[in-house]
Amino acid sequence: MLLPTFFLGAVLPVAAEFLTRRARGAGEAVGRLYTANTIGNILGTVVTGLLFIPRFGFKSSMEIGTLLDILAGAALLVLDPRFARWAKAASSAVTAGLVVLYFALYPPLDALALTYQIFRLRTVPDMGGQSLMDNLKKGRVLLFFEEDGTGTVSVDQTLETGTRALRVNGKVDASTAGDLNTQKLVGHFPLLFHAAPRKVMLVGMGSGITAYSALRHPLERLTCVEISPAVVNASRLFTEQNGDVASDGRFKLIIEDARTFLETTRERYDVIISEPSNPWFAGVANLYTRELFETARARLAPGGVM
């Protein structure tokens, strides 16, 4: 990471030095450069999150960004009059050769390594001479991997036990082992506090086990609000545990941010169930705020429970 970080950090100072030598007004040139840099940062964030990653995936988006950086560097090199023609030609040839070599080799993305929650290790395993990641991947097989605007979603299975785990950005958010009882209880427990629940809202699809548990009760409608289409697709690998909940006529799926949905819907619910991921994950904290609970309370029917 040292060399990429060094050269990326050098782009703006080099561009500023290049422009100040070519422009009559150094202050005006640098001002325009920083304006363009700010606009580029904003556009890059929006385009990457809304277009590149959902359409091309994480790896291809990184490659697109790298190619754009290479083109920018090549343009500065070609336009700089201090370099001789042979130096420009040689540098351009070497750069083009490295790009061609990369795509010729095209190293695959190790999705299993990418989605493992190595940041949550409490102890260091006995690696037996293997690398840490090879040791952690041992005995696991990847069944599903998809990227969308919210992050990476995967499902893996432990070969020895057959346990399946649904991971969002590497963190297990549902499984057929340790989390199974929690997923079931979250679906059952809130409904026990309402005399006759008919309309229920569930925040998050996950594996679909919580939705299935709630639908074991005599409900008229269960509205599940899930922000990630990839999570919905991943839940299909848990049909044995979730009873193929999507095929239940009482189940209604809405792809939307739960907070936005609560602020805009006119529906009233007897029970609202919300058990999102940990608040220290990006984008999840807004489901733990006082404002969210106040908004949810306003969407409860008389005698409603959350």
| Domain ranges across the chain | 2-105, 112-175, 180-305
pLDDT confidence bin for 121, thresholds 50/70/90: low
Which one of 3.40.50.150, 3.40.50.10860, 3.40.190.170, 3.30.1050.10 gives the CATH number of domain 180-305? 3.40.50.150
Q: Which residues pair with 225 in a beta bridge?
A: 203, 254
Where helices occur in the chain by DSSP H, the ranges are 2-22, 26-47, 53-79, 85-105, 111-114, 132-137, 180-188, 209-214, 229-234, 239-242, 258-264, 290-298
d(CA 180, CA 175): 6
Contact assessment for residue 210 and residue 275, using Cβ atoms and an 8 Å cutoff: yes
* Angle between helical axes of 53-79 and 85-105 (0-180°, round to 10): 160
d(CA 45, CA 291): 27
Q: Summarize pLDDT for 18-72 with one digit per residue, the tens.
A: 777 765 667 777 888 888 889 988 988 888 878 888 788 877 888 888 888 777 7
pLDDT reading at 225 higher than 80 = yes
pLDDT reading at 210 higher than 80 = yes
User: Please, how many CA atoms are within 13 Å of residue 40, restricted to the half-sphere of its CB?
Assistant: 11
pLDDT confidence bin for 277, thresholds 50/70/90: confident
d(CA 32, CA 44): 18
Q: Which two tokens stand for residue 108?
A: 């695959």
